[in-house]
Structure 1
Amino acid sequence: MFSAQDYSARRAALLDRLPERSLAVIPPTSVKPSSADASHTYAPSRNLFYLTGLTQENTWLLLFRTPAGDTVETLFTDPFDPEYEKWWGRKLTEEEASTVSGIATVRTDRDWEGAIDRSLMRGGIEHVFVDYPVAGLGQPRGQRQRFAWKLSKAWPDRTHGRLSPHIHAMRMVKDEKEAELIRKAAGITGEAFAAALSILRPGIRECVIEAELQRVFIASGAREAFPVIAAGGARATCLHYTSNDAVLEDGDLLLIDFGAAWKLYCSDITRTVPVNGRYTDRQRQLVEMVLETQRDAIHRLSPGKLHAAWNLEVSEAYAERLAAAGIIHEPAGIDAVYYHRTGHHLGLDTHDEALAETPIAPGMVFTVEPGLYVAAESTGIRIEDDVMVGGEGNTILSDMIPREPSDIEALMARGRG
C-alpha cells in the first residue's frame, strides 16, 4: 500500500528532526532462540519497516546529510542466496530491496561497521543516533543497545543519542493509508468475532473461541496481533488471562480481547458477550455502564490534552457514575473495580510506541477500553474500540463490530440459525 516515495518522505522527515551533521543508524532486530536448534518467529523492527518497507532479517539502514546538504542513504541486506532459498525461503535481490524502499544504494557485503567508520571519518558527522529499545537496569542489554554502546566507545569525540524517540514521534501520528490498514485489520477482526459467536455455546472451552478467531485471521491473510484473551465468568477479572482452557458455563459472560494484524498494522478489540446468547438484566446494566463510559471517553479524547490527563478525566467521571449507581460506595473506591488505564496508542505495535509528554493530536490512534471487574459477582466486562483522533470529532475505525447488547444478541441469534 505504501510506495517507495512514502518511505523516502519518512526518511527525509526523520533527518529534518535531527541536528545538522547527524548520522542515523537503524539496526535490525535479532532472531531469538527458543530451545535446541529452534527459534521464535522473527519479529522485524517496526521502526526499520516504517522507514523502508522491509522486514527481512539482517537489514541495516544508514542515513546522513553531507555538509553540502546532500542526503546519503545506504541499505545493507543479506545477499540473494539460492541455497538458502531451498531451506528457509527467498531473500530479496538488491534491485527488489531498492524498488520497495526507494534507496538507490543497496549493499550485500555486510560491512555496515566499515561504512559507519568511513562516514564518521570523512562525512563531517558530529552527532550519532542509533535506534534501540531501552532495557532498564533490571534487564540485559539487547543486541541493538550493545551496538550503540560499542559505537559510542569507538567514537567518543562525537555526541551520541538514541534515535528511537524521533521515529516514535513520527509513528504516533498516522496518515490516511495507515488508518485504512488499521480499519482493514479491524474489519477482519469483526469477521472473526461474528464467526466465533456463531459457535459459542455453554459447555465448550474458551480455546474453541480462540481457535475460531485465529482460523478467520489466517484464512483472511492476517495474523493475530497479540495472544487472544477468552475469559469466561470470574476469569475475566484477570486482565491478561490467556490460559483459555476452562469450560464456559450457562449464564456467564465471556470477555474476548482479540485483534488481527494486517500488513503489520494492528487492531485491538474487546467485547463481552453472554455465553447463552442473552444478557441477564444485571449483566445488561453493567455492560451499559461500561458503554456509557466508553462513549464519554471517546468524546473527551481531543487534541491538546496529554494522554495521562485524558485518562484521569475519564476515570474521575467514571468513578462518580459508579458511585451514583451503587456499584462502589464512593468515587475513591474505583480501583477495586477498575484497575487499568482507558487506552493506549495503536499502530505497528498493539501497544504502539509513544512519548508521554506529547499532547494528543489529530491522526493519533488510541484504543478506548474502559472495564468493570466485580469479583463478588464473578463478572469482568471490557469494551474496546480503535479510535482515530480528528480535529473536529473522532473516527471509530472499528465501528463495523457490534458493541451494543441488543446488537450482540441479534448477531448471536443469526449465527445460531
Structure 2
Amino acid sequence: MYKMNRKNLFNHMENQSFACFFSGTSPVRTADQTYPFEVNKNFFYLTGIKEENVALVMIKGANMEKSFLFIEKTDPVTALWVGETMSMEEAKAISMVDEVFERKDFRTVLSKFLQDSRQAVFGALNALYLDLDRRSMDALETESDRFGNEMRNLYPNLVIASLHPKLGELRSVKHTHEVKMMQEAIEVTRLGIEALMSNAKAGIREYQLEAYYHFVLNSNGVTTSFNTIAASGKNATILHYEKNNAVIQDNDLILFDLGVRKNEYCSDISRTFPVSGKFTERQKAYYELVLETNKKSIEMLKPGVTFQEFNEFGKKILAEGLVKMGKIKDVSEVSKYYYHSLGHFLGLDVHDVGNYTKPFEKGQVITVEPGLYIADEAIGIRIEDNILLTDNGHVNLSESIIKEVKDIENFMSKK
C-alpha cells in the first residue's frame, strides 16, 4: 500500500524533481522529558514507518522513480534506556523503498544526488517538493520549513513547491486496508461505549465514568484518537469540554465524544444517553430530532454531494424541528442551539485532510454529527457516526453502536 501511495504521488511530481518528507521528533516537555511521539501522518502514509527522526527522499529522474529512507541506527547505550530502534531491514520490508541509509548520511547522500556526477543516473534535479503546511504566520517552523530554507540558500536555482494539498486529496480516498483499520478502531469504540452505559450512575464524577472507557482501550492495546469529551448536563453544551470533573446528576444526559486510534487510523464517535437509564420526555424530544437529522443526513450521503449541500441539509432538519417544538420562532434562529458543521473527513487524523471544496468521492470516510445544545435546559446532545462512501451510496461503519432510544434504554435497564 505504501509503495502504491508513493506511486500515486510520483504521478503529481514533475520530471527531474525530488521530494523530501520527515517523520518528526518529540518536542521537549520539561527538563529531560519529551511529549509522546506522534508521527507525521503524510510521512506515515508514504512509508508505514512510525519511528522518530526518519527521512524519505523520492526522486523522479530520467525515466526512473526511486525512493530512499534514512533512519537512525540503534545506539547500544540508548537502547539500554529506551530499547532498540527499527533496523534497516525492517524499515525496507515495511516501506518497500529502493534503499535504506543511516540518518546521519542524509545530507551526504542527498548532495551526491544533486551533483553533476550523478546526472547520468537521475539527470539534473530542478525542483524540490516538501510537505509545507503553515496554518498561520505565527506558527512554529517545521522540519520541512527549515530544510526548505536551507536548500534555497544552498541551491538557489531549485524550484521549491508543496505537495501538502495533493497529499490531502490522495489521503482522503481510502484503501481497503485503511477502512479495515478504521473499522477495527470503531469496534473497540463500541465496546468502550457499552462499558460507559453499563457503569453510568449518578454521584460519580465524569472522569470516573470515563475511566471505564480507557480500561477497554488499554485492554485492547489501543489509544484514544483525541482527548475524550465526557460532558454531563449543561457541560454538554460546550463543544470541546474536556475538564470531565463535574459530579454527574441523576437526571442528566451525558454526551461522550470519543475515539480510538488503531495503527494510526482513527474513529470518531459521539453518543448521548441518560445517566438514569431513561430519557425524560423533553430529553427524548430533542434526542429524537438529533437522531432524525443524523439518520436522514447519512441517507443523503453519496459521491457527488457537496460539503455545502450536506451541511445545509442537516441544518434545515434541525431548524424546522426546533420551530415545530416551539423552541425557536424562525429557522434563522437555529444557530442559537446548533453551532458547528455537520461533519468532516476522517482517517489518519480525526479532522482529516481533504478538499472540502470538491464533491465527495467514493472511498472517503465522513463523520455525520448533528447536535443540539440547549444551555437553558442543561441539555446537550450529539450523535455521530463514521460513514464510508461507496459507488452509489454509503456504508455506516459504526452501525453496530446503538443509538435508538429504545435500544439505549433497554441496554441500560440490564446493568
TM-score range, shorter chain: over 0.9
Residue range with higher mean Cα deviation, 325-334 or 230-239? 325-334
Question: Secondary structure at the residue paired with 1:91?
Answer: coil
Q: Write out per-residue CA displacement over residues 163-215 of structure 1, whole angstroms, 9 at most, x where no aligned residue.
A: 21222111100122111111110000000111121111011110012211111
The equivalent residue for 2:42 is 47
> Which residue of the other structure, out of 44, 62, 67, is the alignment partner of 1:73?
67
Question: Secondary structure at the residue paired with 2:34?
Answer: coil
Following superposition, the deviation at residue 216 of structure 1 comes to 0.5
Question: Secondary structure at the residue paired with 2:270?
Answer: strand
The equivalent residue for 2:347 is 347
Q: Write out per-residue CA displacement over residues 326-357 of structure 1, whole angstroms, 9 at most, x where no aligned residue.
A: 22211111110000000011111111112232
Following superposition, the deviation at residue 158 of structure 1 comes to 2.0
Match of 2:68, as an amino acid?
Answer: T
Please give the alpha-carbon distance, in whole angstroms, between the structure 2 residues aligned to 1:376 and 1:245.
21
- Alignment partner of 1:270 is 2:302: no
Which aligned segments of 4 or more residues in structure 1 are displaced greater than 6 angstroms? none
Question: Secondary structure at the residue paired with 1:76?
Answer: strand
- Alignment partner of 1:24 is 2:19: yes
Unaligned runs of 5+ in 1: 1-5
TM-score (norm 2): 0.95
Please give the alpha-carbon distance, in whole angstroms, between the structure 2 residues aligned to 1:71 and 1:283.
59
Please give the alpha-carbon distance, in whole angstroms, between the structure 1 residues aligned to 2:48 and 2:142.
23
The equivalent residue for 1:334 is 334
Quote the RMSD (CA, aligned, Å).
1.4
Please give the alpha-carbon distance, in whole angstroms, between the structure 2 residues aligned to 1:52 and 1:139.
26
- Alignment partner of 1:84 is 2:89: no
Residue range with higher mean Cα deviation, 150-159 or 180-189? 150-159
**Counterparts in 2 of 1:159 and 1:309: CA distance versus 1, 3 Å:** farther
Please give the alpha-carbon distance, in whole angstroms, between the structure 2 residues aligned to 1:113 and 1:162.
20
Residue range with higher mean Cα deviation, 403-412 or 339-348? 403-412
Q: Would the aligned equivalents of 1:272 and 1:381 in 2 still touch at CA under 8 Å?
A: yes
Please give the alpha-carbon distance, in whole angstroms, between the structure 1 residues aligned to 2:374 and 2:157.
58
Q: Write out per-residue CA displacement over residues 24-52 of structure 1, whole angstroms, 9 at most, x where no aligned residue.
A: 11112221111121111000111111111
Q: Give matches, 1:189-338, under 5 Å.
A: 189-338=189-338
Q: Would the aligned equivalents of 2:252 and 2:275 in 1 still touch at CA under 8 Å?
A: yes
Q: Would the aligned equivalents of 1:29 and 1:144 in 2 still touch at CA under 8 Å?
A: no
Following superposition, the deviation at residue 109 of structure 1 comes to 4.7
Q: Would the aligned equivalents of 1:80 and 1:91 in 2 still touch at CA under 8 Å?
A: yes
TM-score (norm 1): 0.95
Match of 2:283, as an amino acid?
Answer: Q
Please give the alpha-carbon distance, in whole angstroms, between the structure 2 residues aligned to 1:327 and 1:90.
61
Please give the alpha-carbon distance, in whole angstroms, between the structure 2 residues aligned to 1:293 and 1:362.
22
Q: Write out per-residue CA displacement over residues 241-261 of structure 1, whole angstroms, 9 at most, x where no aligned residue.
A: 000001000111000111111
> Which residue of the other structure, out of 29, 41, 51, is the alignment partner of 1:56?
51
Residue identity (%): 33
- Alignment partner of 1:107 is 2:93: no
Question: Secondary structure at the residue paired with 1:34?
Answer: strand
Aligned residues: 409
Q: Give matches, 1:158-173, under 5 Å.
A: 158-173=158-173
Please give the alpha-carbon distance, in whole angstroms, between the structure 1 residues aligned to 2:268 and 2:148.
33
Please give the alpha-carbon distance, in whole angstroms, between the structure 1 residues aligned to 2:255 and 2:413.
18
Q: Would the aligned equivalents of 2:267 and 2:386 in 1 still touch at CA under 8 Å?
A: yes
Please give the alpha-carbon distance, in whole angstroms, between the structure 1 residues aligned to 2:384 and 2:93.
38
Following superposition, the deviation at residue 70 of structure 1 comes to 1.3
**Counterparts in 2 of 1:104 and 1:83: CA distance versus 1, 3 Å:** farther
Question: Secondary structure at the residue paired with 1:110?
Answer: helix
Q: Would the aligned equivalents of 1:30 and 1:143 in 2 still touch at CA under 8 Å?
A: no
Please give the alpha-carbon distance, in whole angstroms, between the structure 2 residues aligned to 1:145 and 1:216.
40
Unaligned runs of 5+ in 2: none
**Counterparts in 2 of 1:48 and 1:291: CA distance versus 1, 3 Å:** same
